[in-house]
Amino acid sequence: MCREKGIEPRRKFSGKFNVRLDPEDHAAAAVAAAAAGKSLNEWVIGAIREAAAE
């Protein structure tokens, strides 16, 4: 399919992206990260890796 469309099957990613969420969800994630002894960034990385592994 990629060959037919003339696109690379795997694109390169910068490792940076913005996420927009409700302030309540942002606050809940910050609290969960703090409770886990992690930065918000570390916590989000863990959550993404866990969800992607499922």
Residuewise pLDDT in 10s, the chain (54 residues): 778 888 777 778 899 999 999 999 999 999 999 999 999 999 999 999 999 998
Question: Which ranges of the chain would DSSP assign to H, the alpha helix?
Answer: 2-5, 23-35, 40-53
> pTM of the predicted model, to two decimals?
0.75
Helix 40-53 to helix 23-35 angle (10° resolution) is: 90
